[in-house]
Homo-oligomer: A and B are copies of this chain.
Amino acid sequence: MVKQVRAVRTRQALIRAAAEAFAHDGYARASLPAISKRAGVSAGALHFHFPSKDALASEIESGAARTVEEMTAHCRSTGGSALGVLVAAIRQLVVAFAADPVMRAGFALSGDPARDGGTAVVDSWHGWVRDVVAQAQEAGELTDDLSPECVAGAVVAATVGFEVLGSGDRDWLSKERMVEFWTCLLPRLATVPGPDLARVLEGEPTGDRDAENSMAGL
């Protein structure tokens, strides 16, 4: 194997192992020796790539933020109504909580009292939700007496709750829960008829094999 390729793989293994450790044990309890062991690399290799636990956590937070960005950009690019984009993005987010330790850890670190700062993932998610609801409003899709701030607050609080509850019980991340959530909320948000929940939640091709497989399995 070319040296550079091996370095990239080692780095990826470390990020994945650290994400699993942070999501499962919390930031404070996750230890660097356990992370290097889990990744199957030496302590020296870990320190070569990441000088500290903080550096690993920052890398994971950035990775989760990038995934949120790509995911939301992808959902936008599929066209459809703004509320349909919102429903699809939240479904993908919850699928990612179940399938991707970096996403799970990125959000968990945002709410982990042992990890000072690091709320960037949730903040950017909140900003995106507000924007897409504002677009729905401009397009006349949003019920008149609702504001983007109001809807974004409820939606972001619920998604943070799904991550926390889903870390203890995967059922909170199932498609059935999502259908229930939107059955509760969507008729209030959408000027009739709103996006077709079944179609959006069944998921059109996302171009992301992992996410599609996880979605099919949930």
| Chain A interface residues toward B at CB < 8 A | 23-29, 108, 110-114, 119, 122, 145-147, 149-151, 153-154, 156-162, 164-165, 167-168, 172, 177, 180-181, 183-185, 187-189
In the complex, chain B residues whose CB is within 8 Å of the CB of A181:
150, 153-154, 157
Q: Quick check: B168 and A153 within 8 Å, CB to CB?
A: no
- Distance A28 CA – B158 CA, assembled complex (angstroms): 26
10 closest A-B pairs (Cβ-Cβ)? A157-B161, A28-B28, A188-B188, A161-B161, A160-B161, A111-B164, A150-B180, A26-B114, A28-B29, A26-B113
CA–CA, A147 to B156, complex, Å?
A: 22
Q: A160-B160, A160-B165 are in contact. List 9 more A-B contacts (CB 8 A).
A: A25-B114, A26-B112, A111-B111, A111-B164, A111-B167, A147-B180, A153-B177, A153-B180, A158-B161
CA gap between A147 and B179 in the complex, in Å: 12
Q: A29-B114, A113-B24, A161-B161 are in contact. Are A184 and B122 (CB under 8 A)?
A: no
Q: Chain B residues near A162 (CB, 8 Å)?
A: 157
B residues in contact with A150, CB < 8 Å: 180-181, 183-184
Q: How far is the CB of A179 from chain B (nearest CB, A)?
A: 9
Shortest CB–CB separation between residue A125 and chain B, in angstroms? 11
What residues of B have a CB within 8 angstroms of the CB of A114 in the complex? 25-26, 28-29, 114
For A184, the closest partner residue in chain B by CB is: B154
Docked-complex contact A23 and B113, CB < 8 angstroms: yes
Given A157-B172, A161-B159, A184-B188; A113-B122 close (CB under 8 Å): no
Please measure, in the bound complex, the distance between the C-alpha atom of A24 and the C-alpha atom of B114, giving whole angstroms: 8
| Residue from the set A26, A153, A180 with the largest chain B CB neighbour count within 10 Å | A153
Contacts of A184 in B (CB 8 A): 146, 150-151, 153-154, 185, 188-189
